[in-house]
Structures are given as structure tokens and as C-alpha cells.
Amino acid sequence: MKRATLALAALATATVALAQQTPPTPAEPRTNTTPQEQTAPRMSEADKLRLMNHCMRLVQAARPNLPEKDIKAYCEKKVESYASLR
């Protein structure tokens, strides 16, 4: 009886050790990422407005003779391209 118990214990120990060493098969899905890591947060309208105002100030300072509508169009494109990266 002791031999059977020892054999079963050894078999159980070997099985556990083997299970710990075996890497997951490719068929098993890996779920180690959280949904927050998969999607980037969207830029709020307040953030877009801040970026727009900052861009307009910088461009006006660099090119004071440029028409405001051109500056606004340029900055809108820049803010949208930045927002789409996030």
C-alpha cells in the first residue's frame, strides 16, 4: 500500500512539474492585455481647443503678416492630425 501511495505521489508531482514547464499552445488565446491598453483615450474638446489656441499664438508670433484664416486652417489640420494619432 505504501508503494502505491508513493507511486501516486510521484506521478502527481511529475505531472504538476510538467504542467508548469509546458508553454501555452498557440491555440490558447493570450489574455494578458487589458482593454485600457488596447484602445487609446480620445482627446477631449477642451484639449483640442487648448492646442488650437497654442498653435495659433505660435504661428501668429512667427508669421505676423499671415492672414488669420490661413493660420486657423493650418492649426486645425495640425490639431486633427495630432488627435488622430492618439
What CA–CA distances, in Å, run from 71 to 43, 62, 80? 21, 11, 14
**Residue-wise pLDDT tens digits, 22-31:** 555 556 555 5
Helix axes 45-62, 68-85, angle to 10 degrees: 140
**Residue-wise pLDDT tens digits, 47-86:** 999 999 999 999 999 999 999 999 999 999 999 998 888 6
Q: What pTM did the predictor assign?
A: 0.51
d(CA 45, CA 30): 35
Residues 71-84: b if buried by 16+ CB within 10 A, e if exposed: beeebeeebeeeee
